[in-house]
Amino acid sequence: MINDNIKQLNRYAVPKAEAILKFIAAHNCAELEDGEKEIEGRELFVRIMSYVPKPADQNKFETHEVYADLQYVATGTEIMQTAESRDLTPTTGYDAKDDYRFYNINGPVNSLVVRSGFFTVFYPNEAHRPSCLFDGHRGMVKKLVFKIKMSNS
C-alpha cells in the first residue's frame, strides 16, 4: 500500500504512473461524469464515482487478484482502512468477472485520512475498505479509481 499526494506519484514504482498522471492533467477531475473510461484498454482503466462516504461498519473490506487500485480523491475527504489478511473472514467467493472478494473483519484496522489531491495504491490481495466517513467532512467525494492490471489470471 502507498499513500501520498498525487504530485509525488513518480517517487514510487507504480505501474502505469505516467499514463495516470497524464489522464489527471488532461481532465478537470472534479467535473468528470461518473462511469468507466478505458485508458489503455483493460490494462489500465478508471472508474469515476461521486458519493457521500458511509460509516466504516456499513462498508466491506475487499481484495483484488488481477488489478491494483490507485484511488485518487479529486474532491472531498474520506477514510480508507486496511487490515491484515489473518484478521479477515471471506463473506463471498472470488468474483473473477469484477475481480473482488468481500470480507468481515475480526481484528484491528488501520485508518488513513485521504484528502483531495491524495491517492492510495492497494496492490492485489491487500485488503482495504474505502469510502468511509471522516468526521471532519460531511460532503460528497469525487474519486477516480484507476485499475492497473498486474496479472493475467
Task: Transcribe 80-117 into DSSP letters.
Answer: EEE--GGGEEESS--BTTTTBEEEEE-S--EEEEEETT
Helix, strand, coil content of the chain in percent (nearest 5): 15, 45, 35
User: 21: closest CA among 35, 10, 31, 32?
Assistant: 10
Q: Does residue 152 surpass a pLDDT of 80? A: no
pTM of the model: 0.96
42: pLDDT strictly greater than 80? yes
- Residue 4, Cβ neighbours under 10 Å: how many? 13
Per-residue pLDDT tens for 94-145? 999 999 999 999 999 999 999 999 999 999 999 999 999 998 777 999 999 9
Q: Does 89 score more than 70 pLDDT?
A: yes
What number is the average pLDDT over the span 44-52? Answer: 98
pLDDT of res. 67? 98
% of residues, the chain, pLDDT over 70: 99
* Residue type, position 108, single letter: P
Grid cell 473473477 in the structure block, residue: 96
Q: How far apart are CA 121 and CA 11, in angstroms?
A: 13
What pLDDT does residue 135 have? 87
Residue 153: predicted pLDDT: 61
| pLDDT above 90 as % of the chain | 94
Q: Is the dihedral of CA 12, 17, 18, 23 positive or negative?
A: negative
- pLDDT tens across 14-31, in order? 999 999 999 999 999 999
Scanning the chain, the segments in alpha helix (DSSP H) are 17-26
DSSP state of 15: T
